[in-house]
Structure 1
């Protein structure tokens, strides 16, 4: 069977297909033109990766009677929904044909892995979960309740060594000269460049990545996201500062935390599987917009995560300069929370007048 590097979206597998350099006029699976083709009749480079991943699964007929029904899925569903290996434009038949062609010998010896529902036995193993779950109680809500109402700074509900390891999988480098933006509601005269940075410590209020009194520079990747994030109203004037990075930095890209490749070096398939939902929840909570009626206490769980990331050292120096996360107010935008505001300098300010707003509503 033939498919291409466009059919596979996994960041570890795509370069393998591209490295083979077999170009054809179009891909017979997805239809992409001038595609880099992987032919299962010729190549075998991907087979070992998938066979190792399949080893963590058990056919439904061999799972314990008390194994949760909601954790049983077809292999095609696991590969697309849990692991995000294939382009979501492929249908389930395409994915089934690819995985069966890649693992033809495995299919011959155990067709039930491909054709019946399967599960990961450790998902129902309390001892394994206790030792390998990012959230020791296996519940984000338990963690939130503890840090909000019992102990704000030290929690046994989260396994920080595991969080540290997953952060290392989603490192993102920004080069000196990278440009981001910060907005402030202002008068039509705007703010000067020296007043566009993070506020001084005695005026810092709590945010999703910082506690009150601890400076953090919140930036956005484009103008629209900047204006959305400060929730500018109709007829407001907004000063938007252009911020330039003064040196190379590394951030933790939290928006990628639930799309980490299972094939990345150092990643344990089973541990990764049991933590997928926890990682996804962290990404959602970091980007979640608070309503006016919400309490600043709702920021505490994400502040805890951000403070831990800030505390990670490499050779005595901070490993990460900040975190990156999705904007939930402007769905195409991205935000940066920079732990060390002096890493950026504001080079220019422009003032915008908000002429019109669009509201999207949903009847409850």
Structure 2
């Protein structure tokens, strides 16, 4: 059966189909005509390795739903269930039902579940003398090697809310990270250890500081200094199982672990939450800082769709070059029923 690139979301898989197609034809899954297609058999090796990540489990999750949630493999254009069923048949799987219940291999579960165990241990058992040997045994130190580099003159932004209406904009030297004596606990930084929290867009800064109607805000524009660059551990990389053929087991552990850490990094603290919730992410940022030697981390904003946040462990490589004062003129609040 023929399949086309439009049936998938995985960028590398789409590219493979487009470059390895020998001719155009009709896709047997989305029914597009005159498109680049390959025989589904050509994807057999990839799916064989990919399916090895899962085992049948009557108490697990529905297979097609788990793939959609964690891997975003199939596009809306194709019927993912039909395509998955055909692949299962192709591989002669004993159970080719795309809605069968599965879970990840024990090796994967062991690695990613340790994050929850570590969070509890840091909050309630041991904080300053945590045994990190298991982290190395699980290979976590290698999972933070996916890094991006921001070149000099990259523009980044930070916002500060004014305490009083009518105050003038903050000065450029007031937009950096606070003094150690004034550094409160943050999602990434411990009490007394200041990090610099930045965003890649001005819009995201308003969401991250939870600006409300008529708030007056100073927005500082930062640039990376000449002859410098920022090396950041990347929690935002585009998921691609196909790109990681041959090392999919390790990639799955890395991908899923960083997904859960990123969720905790971006999760806003509610007014009735304890600052104890910060401790696990503070720990992992300190681990990243000293193990990788990078300048910081980049992760997705949970408050602004498409927004990206950056945390710098030191601020010596960036400088605030200008500050503009803004006022919030409109706020939209979404809500849902809650028990």
TM-score exceeds 0.5? yes
Instruction: Choose the corresponding residue for 1:201, options 180, 194, 212.
Output: 180
Contact 2:25 2:37 in 1 (8 A): no
Contact 1:133 1:275 in 2 (8 A): no
Instruction: Choose the corresponding residue for 1:245, options 224, 227, 246.
Output: 224
Partner of residue 140, structure 2? 163
Q: What secondary structure is seen at the aligned counterpart in 1 of 2:157?
A: strand
Contact 2:17 2:38 in 1 (8 A): no
- TM-aligned CA distance change 1:11 to 1:307, over 3 Å: farther
Partner of residue 63, structure 1? none
Partner of residue 92, structure 1? 80
**What TM-score does the superposition give when structure 1 sets the normalisation length?**
0.77
Superposed, 1:40-51 pairs within 5 Å as 40=39, 44=42, 46-51=43-48
Determine the C-alpha separation between the residues in 1 that align with 2:45 and 2:117.
39
Q: Describe the superposition over 1:272-326 as per-residue Cα deviations: whole angstroms up to 9, x where unpaired.
A: 657766543212111000122322221111001111111124xxxx2x2211122
Partner of residue 261, structure 1? 241
Contact 1:171 1:252 in 2 (8 A): yes
Partner of residue 150, structure 1? 125
Cα offset for 1:49? Answer: 1.6
- TM-aligned CA distance change 1:156 to 1:95, over 3 Å: farther
Cα offset for 1:39? Answer: 1.4
Instruction: Name the stretch that deviates more: 295-304 or 4-13.
Output: 4-13
- TM-aligned CA distance change 1:98 to 1:344, over 3 Å: farther
Determine the C-alpha separation between the residues in 1 that align with 2:286 and 2:219.
27
Determine the C-alpha separation between the residues in 2 that align with 1:93 and 1:122.
22
Cα offset for 1:139? Answer: 5.5
Q: Describe the superposition over 1:152-201 as per-residue Cα deviations: whole angstroms up to 9, x where unpaired.
A: 23434862452222222x32232222222100113542012222111222
Q: Is 1:227 matched with 2:206?
A: yes
Q: What secondary structure is seen at the aligned counterpart in 2 of 1:351?
A: strand
Determine the C-alpha separation between the residues in 2 that align with 1:185 and 1:229.
11
- TM-aligned CA distance change 1:343 to 1:83, over 3 Å: same
Partner of residue 117, structure 1? 100
Partner of residue 310, structure 2? 336
Q: What secondary structure is seen at the aligned counterpart in 1 of 2:144?
A: helix
Q: Is 1:356 matched with 2:339?
A: no
Gaps of 5+ in 2: none
Partner of residue 17, structure 1? 17
Determine the C-alpha separation between the residues in 1 that align with 2:124 and 2:22.
58
Partner of residue 58, structure 2? 69
Determine the C-alpha separation between the residues in 2 that align with 1:81 and 1:301.
24
Q: What secondary structure is seen at the aligned counterpart in 1 of 2:330?
A: coil
Contact 2:50 2:241 in 1 (8 A): no
Determine the C-alpha separation between the residues in 1 that align with 2:32 and 2:316.
45
Contact 1:80 1:88 in 2 (8 A): no
Cα offset for 1:70? Answer: 2.5
Contact 1:188 1:351 in 2 (8 A): no
Determine the C-alpha separation between the residues in 1 that align with 2:176 and 2:303.
22
Contact 1:71 1:119 in 2 (8 A): yes
Determine the C-alpha separation between the residues in 2 that align with 1:79 and 1:183.
38
Determine the C-alpha separation between the residues in 2 that align with 1:238 and 1:33.
53
Determine the C-alpha separation between the residues in 2 that align with 1:38 and 1:265.
21
- TM-aligned CA distance change 1:94 to 1:265, over 3 Å: closer
Task: Give the RMSD, CA atoms, in angstroms.
Answer: 3.4
